[in-house]
Protein backbone atom coordinates (compact mmCIF):
# COMPACT_ATOMS: atom_id res chain seq x y z
CA UNK A 1 0.00 0.00 0.00
CA UNK A 2 2.88 2.39 0.74
CA UNK A 3 4.27 1.72 -2.73
CA UNK A 4 1.00 2.72 -4.42
CA UNK A 5 0.69 5.79 -2.18
CA UNK A 6 4.16 6.88 -3.28
CA UNK A 7 3.21 6.38 -6.94
CA UNK A 8 0.03 8.43 -6.53
CA UNK A 9 2.03 11.29 -5.03
CA UNK A 10 4.36 11.35 -8.06
CA UNK A 11 1.71 11.23 -10.81
CA UNK A 12 2.03 14.95 -11.56
CA UNK A 13 5.65 14.68 -12.72
CA UNK A 14 5.71 15.95 -16.30
CA UNK A 15 6.73 13.22 -18.78
CA UNK A 16 8.14 14.79 -21.90
CA UNK A 17 7.02 18.25 -22.90
CA UNK A 18 3.24 17.96 -22.72
CA UNK A 19 1.98 14.90 -20.94
CA UNK A 20 1.90 12.95 -17.74
CA UNK A 21 2.26 9.22 -17.30
CA UNK A 22 2.93 6.81 -14.52
CA UNK A 23 4.23 3.26 -14.86
CA UNK A 24 3.67 0.61 -12.20
CA UNK A 25 6.64 -1.73 -12.56
CA UNK A 26 6.23 -5.38 -11.60
CA UNK A 27 9.83 -5.45 -10.36
CA UNK A 28 9.06 -2.73 -7.80
CA UNK A 29 5.96 -4.60 -6.63
CA UNK A 30 7.99 -7.80 -6.25
CA UNK A 31 10.58 -5.87 -4.23
CA UNK A 32 7.85 -4.52 -1.93
CA UNK A 33 6.35 -8.01 -1.49
CA UNK A 34 9.76 -9.52 -0.67
CA UNK A 35 10.03 -6.90 2.09
CA UNK A 36 7.05 -8.43 3.93
CA UNK A 37 8.04 -10.51 6.96
CA UNK A 38 7.97 -14.21 6.13
CA UNK A 39 8.05 -13.79 2.34
CA UNK A 40 11.20 -15.21 0.74
CA UNK A 41 10.21 -15.53 -2.93
CA UNK A 42 7.68 -14.37 -5.50
CA UNK A 43 7.07 -17.11 -8.08
CA UNK A 44 4.34 -15.30 -10.01
CA UNK A 45 2.84 -11.83 -9.96
CA UNK A 46 -0.33 -10.87 -11.79
CA UNK A 47 -1.19 -7.21 -11.91
CA UNK A 48 -4.53 -6.33 -13.45
CA UNK A 49 -4.72 -10.01 -14.50
CA UNK A 50 -1.51 -9.66 -16.57
CA UNK A 51 2.17 -10.40 -16.07
CA UNK A 52 3.41 -7.03 -17.32
CA UNK A 53 4.08 -3.49 -16.19
CA UNK A 54 1.08 -1.15 -16.25
CA UNK A 55 1.27 2.32 -17.82
CA UNK A 56 -1.32 4.72 -16.41
CA UNK A 57 -2.51 7.82 -18.26
CA UNK A 58 -3.37 11.34 -17.21
CA UNK A 59 -4.95 13.37 -20.01
CA UNK A 60 -7.97 15.58 -20.60
CA UNK A 61 -9.99 12.46 -21.35
CA UNK A 62 -8.57 9.93 -18.89
CA UNK A 63 -7.05 10.19 -15.41
CA UNK A 64 -5.68 6.98 -13.89
CA UNK A 65 -4.06 6.50 -10.48
CA UNK A 66 -2.87 3.20 -8.97
CA UNK A 67 -5.05 1.75 -6.24
CA UNK A 68 -4.50 -1.47 -4.32
CA UNK A 69 -7.28 -3.96 -4.89
CA UNK A 70 -7.06 -7.54 -3.67
CA UNK A 71 -3.74 -9.06 -2.68
CA UNK A 72 -3.53 -12.84 -2.46
CA UNK A 73 -0.50 -14.68 -1.11
CA UNK A 74 -0.29 -18.44 -1.57
CA UNK A 75 1.99 -20.39 0.74
CA UNK A 76 4.04 -23.08 -0.96
Q: Is 67 within the bounds of a domain?
A: no
Q: Is 71 within the bounds of a domain?
A: no
Domain residue limits at 45: 2-58
Measured between alpha carbons, how far is 66 from 8 in angstroms, rounded to an integer? 6
Q: Is 40 within the bounds of a domain?
A: yes
Q: Is 43 within the bounds of a domain?
A: yes
Q: Is 65 within the bounds of a domain?
A: no
Residues 11-41: tens digit of each pLDDT: 666 555 556 678 889 998 899 889 888 888 9
Q: Is 28 within the bounds of a domain?
A: yes
Q: Is 26 within the bounds of a domain?
A: yes
**Domain tally for the chain?**
1
Is it the case that residue 76 has pLDDT exceeding 70?
yes
What pTM, to 2 d.p., does this model score? Answer: 0.65
Q: Is 63 within the bounds of a domain?
A: no
CA atoms within 13 A on the CB side of 38: 4
Amino acid sequence: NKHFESLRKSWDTLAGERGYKLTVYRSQLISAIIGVDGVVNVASLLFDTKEEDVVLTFSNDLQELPVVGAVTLDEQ
